[in-house]
């Protein structure tokens, strides 16, 4: 089996089927020049992989973890229970409850174990990448300048007129 990948931002997801959503987390990271890795880690189907990943990430170069899962979405909370790193969670839009199940099972963490939960689906995944960049920028002045410029470009791109 391939070894677990670790980068400054490591993006994990419960299934390959989550990739169409979670790939959106890579967009702001690419635009801001931040290295990332991706892997499938399932809380239920690969529990030992979850433990290996979460216990090693902070000693393997990762600074922020992004974790996406759908349905009974235990992945982000379990990683946060093991790893000291910040965990940004993305609730995946599920087939039967359109992501409400994912959202509630991720967001209702018990006191003492923190997860930064984003919106359900594509926007949440995108913002997870952006949030990771903002966290990293706290200790990286050049990245902070790139973020400021990135936001200015975003603002400039919003037209005043609707035609």
Q: Is 18 annotated as a binding residue?
A: yes
At residue 29's C-alpha, the angle toward residues 158 and 52, to 5°, is: 145
Q: Which residues of 76-98 are buried (b: 16+ CB within 10 A; e: fewer)?
A: bbbbbebbebbbbbbbbbbeeee
**Site for ligand RP5 contains 24 (CB under 6 A):** no
Q: Which of 10, 24, 42, 118 binds ligand RP5 (CB under 6 A)?
A: 42
Stretch touching ligand RP5 by CB under 6 A, among 1-9, 65-73, 79-87, 105-113: 65-73
Q: Least separation, in Å, of the C-beta of 63 and ligand RP5?
A: 23
With binding defined as CB under 6 A, does residue 62 bind ligand RP5? no
The percent of the chain in helix, strand and coil, each rounded to the nearest 5, is 45, 15, 35
Which of helix, strand or coil describes residue 88? strand
Identify the H or E element spanning 65: strand 64-70
Enumerate residues 78-137 that contact ligand RP5 by CB under 6 A. Answer: 92
Q: How many residues make up the chain in this entry? A: 163
Task: List the one residue from 9, 10, 15, 79 that touches ligand RP5 (CB under 6 A).
Answer: 15
- The residue range among 2-10, 68-76, 107-115, 137-145 that interacts with ligand RP5, by the rule CB under 6 A, is 68-76
Of 115, 131, 139, 144, the C-alpha closest to 29 is 131
- In whole angstroms, the minimum distance from the beta carbon of 11 to ligand RP5 comes to 13
Decide if 52 contacts 26 (C-beta within 8 A): no
Binding-site residue set for substrate: 15, 18, 45
Contact residues for ligand RP5 (CB under 6 A)? 14-15, 17-18, 42, 69-71, 92
Binding-site residue set: 15, 18, 45
């Amino acid at each position: 089996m391939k070894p677990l990948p670790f980068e400054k931002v490591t993006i994990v997801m419960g299934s390959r089927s989550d990739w169409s959503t979670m790939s959106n987390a890579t967009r702001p990271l690419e635009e801001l020049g931040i290295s990332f890795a991706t892997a499938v880690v399932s809380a239920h189907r690969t529990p030992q992989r979850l433990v290996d990943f979460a216990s090693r990430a902070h000693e393997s170069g990762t600074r922020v973890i992004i974790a996406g899962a759908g349905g009974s979405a235990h992945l982000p909370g379990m990683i946060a229970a093991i790893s000291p790193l910040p965990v940004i969670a993305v609730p995946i839009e599920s087939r039967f409850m359109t992501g409400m199940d994912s959202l509630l099972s991720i967001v209702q963490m018990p006191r003492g174990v923190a997860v930064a939960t984003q919106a359900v689906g594509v926007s949440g995944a995108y913002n997870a990448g952006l949030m990771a960049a903002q966290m990293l920028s706290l200790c990286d002045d050049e990245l902070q300048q790139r973020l400021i410029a990135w936001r200015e470009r975003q603002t400039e791109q919003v037209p005043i007129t609707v035609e």
